[in-house]
A = this chain, B = another copy of it.
Amino acid sequence: MRRATLSRERVLQTAMAYADAQGIDALSMRRLAQELDVVPMALYKHVAGKEDLLDGMIEVVVGEIIGATATGFWKQDVRERILSARKTLVRHQWSRTVLESRSAMTPAMLDYLDSLTGLFIDGGLSVDLTHHVMHALGNRMWGFSQELFAATPRSDTSSFTAQRDALPRQHPHLAQIAMAAAHAGSDARLGPGCDDQFEFEFALDVVLDGAEILHAQHWTSAPRTSSGPRDIRPR
């Protein structure tokens, strides 16, 4: 008589669907329970708590990332793997925020990380260089970077237009960029004028190309002088 009985699986799936539709902030234990036609505390039989719920959701998302077929070229393989990760994470907007908020790694995250690392090492990069390039990738390895410009200037409604008009005077350089982007993009605002996908790939390629150069130069991390890889120079 019970409606399709609960399970961790079903809890996670419903939570994800809800977060997809209503946003991660709208997802509370109570709402989720309601969504499942169940009393809030019922969830705790399948999930240790909210933290565990979020961990579980991330686990599912990361598990959805499909591996790339090896081409033999590490750079291309890494590129495709990360763009594939991006596709997955973009389907679930909330995962960016949640992933960032997590402080411990889940098994699926470790798997992804390890396989990505493997692409570099198997491609011939030194362990040393691979390590630092992974750091350089940062969260980009998950398929997103901080879309900083997505943050529009303060929208106090009142001061907004004022600030917008004053922008060229107060922030001439930002105005230049905004206008250039507006020329190629949709409208004049700082954010939506940018092509997220393009920006992402640009940044990704800067890092991968840098890695390739350092690799070709047999770069090795100095005995921690903290001066970085300052030996890349054009020509």
A residues lining the B interface (CB < 8 Å): 100, 102-107, 110-111, 113-115, 117-118, 121, 127-128, 130-136, 138-141, 145-146, 148-155, 170-174, 176-177, 180-181, 184, 194-195, 197-199, 201-207, 209-214, 216-217, 221, 223-224, 226-230, 232-235
Contact B184 A213 (CB under 8 A): no
Shortest CB-to-CB span from A181 to chain B, Å, is 6
Shortest CB-to-CB span from A72 to chain B, Å, is 17
Shortest CB-to-CB span from A36 to chain B, Å, is 26
Give the secondary structure class of A's interface. helix
Q: How many copies does the complex hold?
A: 2
Q: Which of B154, B198, B205, B229 contacts A230 (CB 8 A)?
A: B205
- For A154, the chain B residues whose CB sits under 8 A away are 104-107
Shortest CB-to-CB span from A126 to chain B, Å, is 9
Contact A177 B127 (CB under 8 A): yes
Contact A135 B217 (CB under 8 A): no
Which of chain B's residues has its CB closest to A200's CB? B135
- For A212, the chain B residues whose CB sits under 8 A away are 232-234
Q: Which of B151, B203, B207 contacts A135 (CB 8 A)?
A: B203
Contact B110 A171 (CB under 8 A): yes
- For A155, the chain B residues whose CB sits under 8 A away are 104
A209 vs B5: C-alpha distance when bound (angstroms): 57
Contact B229 A135 (CB under 8 A): no
Q: Which of B152, B176, B195, B201 contacts A121 (CB 8 A)?
A: B176
